[in-house]
């Protein structure tokens, strides 16, 4: 579904991604871990076209998005993203937050988008909040709205960038639950998170990133219990 070959990304003289190679298969849940500054967010942003790349190739659904002639917006519509800090529109009600994308981009009617948004809100357990403003919701509820908003674009892949790191501990579970449900339904997901329970329960594969490359990858149980590289061992020693 996603194929990344020799991906490089620099900001000026700072080389953030050095040589990233990975394949993401349909319906796979890939968890990305690694120290702060190792390039995890930049990697996700490259996958949905939020960053231009400096080198290498990213192919999504057989379209090379790094090719200068590709209509990147068309491909990247299929790649949804959920951010650490929700990034909701604060002046819009919950329902409008979810429908604005599909109405503008997918050219769906208000009736269609409202009905679809209500269905998704039900799925994330927030049917009763459609008329609230984001600031009236808890962090966990806001993050579930953000997931609903991403789902409204009918993505084929969802990218999550530390979706629970900005939440109070008691709200982490409700967001992870929604993510687990999506995984069970077969959604393809790339998740940057240090929630090891989630990684073990729903992750098919874990990638450990450090210094702009993938140092090691493996099944969650293997990687967490028997890491091969010193850097992985040392990182896991700090967070487990």
Site residues, Mg ion (CB under 5 A):
40-41
Residue 80 phi, psi dihedral angles, 5° rounding: -85, 155
Q: Determine, following the binding rule CB under 6 A, whether residue 39 of this chain makes contact with ligand ADP.
A: yes
Instruction: List the one residue from 36, 69, 73, 230 that touches ligand ADP (CB under 6 A).
Output: 36
If the CB atoms of residues 126 and 158 are measured against ligand ADP, the closer one turns out to be 158
209 torsion bin: left (phi>0), alpha (psi -120 to 50), beta (else):
beta
**Order of strands, sheet of 2-11, starting from the edge strand that comes earlier in the sequence:** 14-24, 2-11, 55-60, 63-64
Instruction: List the one residue from 2, 4, 7, 16 that touches ligand ADP (CB under 6 A).
Output: 16
User: Could you give the CA distance from residue 74 to residue 238 in angstroms, rounded to a whole number?
Assistant: 41
Closest separation in Å from C-beta 223 to ligand ADP: 17
Instruction: List the one residue from 2, 33, 41, 190 that touches ligand ADP (CB under 6 A).
Output: 41
Beta strands in 12-141 (DSSP E): 14-24, 29-33, 55-60, 63-64, 79-82
Instruction: List the one residue from 7, 22, 38, 155 that touches ligand ADP (CB under 6 A).
Output: 38
If the CB atoms of residues 41 and 59 are measured against Mg ion, the closer one turns out to be 41
CA 96 to chain centroid:
22
Encode 226-236: b = buried (16+ Cβ within 10 Å), e = exposed: ebeeebbeebb
Q: Which of residues 167-206 bind ligand ADP (CB under 6 A)?
A: none
If the CB atoms of residues 47 and 108 are measured against ligand ADP, the closer one turns out to be 47
Element (H, E) at 146: helix 139-152
Judged by CB under 6 A, how many residues of this single chain contact ligand ADP?
11
Contact call for residues 93 and 131 (beta carbons, < 8 A):
yes
Closest separation in Å from C-beta 165 to Mg ion: 9
Q: Determine, following the binding rule CB under 6 A, whether residue 40 of this chain makes contact with ligand ADP.
A: yes
* Residues at the contact surface with ligand ADP, assessed by CB under 6 A: 11, 14, 16, 34, 36-42
């Amino acid at each position: 579904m996603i194929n990344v070959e020799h991906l490089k990304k620099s900001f000026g003289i700072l080389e953030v991604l050095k040589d990233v190679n990975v394949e993401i298969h349909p319906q796979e849940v890939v968890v990305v871990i690694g120290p702060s500054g190792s390039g995890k967010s930049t990697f996700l942003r490259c996958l949905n076209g939020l960053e231009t790349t400096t080198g290498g190739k990213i192919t999504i659904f057989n379209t090379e998005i790094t090719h200068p002639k590709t209509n990147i917006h068309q491909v990247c519509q299929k790649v949804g993203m959920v951010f650490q800090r929700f990034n909701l529109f604060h002046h819009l009600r919950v329902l409008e937050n979810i429908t604005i994308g599909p109405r503008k981009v997918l050219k769906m009617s208000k009736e269609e988008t409202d009905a679809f948004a209500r269905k998704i809100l039900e799925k994330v357990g927030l049917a009763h909040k459609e008329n609230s403003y984001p600031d009236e919701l808890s962090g966990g509820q806001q993050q579930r709205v953000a997931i609903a908003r991403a789902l409204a674009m009918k993505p084929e892949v969802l990218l999550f960038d530390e979706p629970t790191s900005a939440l109070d501990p008691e709200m982490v579970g409700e967001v992870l639950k929604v993510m687990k449900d999506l995984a069970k339904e077969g959604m393809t997901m790339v998740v940057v998170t240090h929630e090891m329970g989630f990684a073990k329960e729903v992750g098919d594969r874990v990638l450990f990133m450090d210094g702009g490359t993938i140092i090691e990858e493996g099944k969650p149980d293997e990687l967490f219990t028997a890491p091969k590289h010193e850097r992985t061992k040392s990182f896991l020693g700090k967070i487990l």
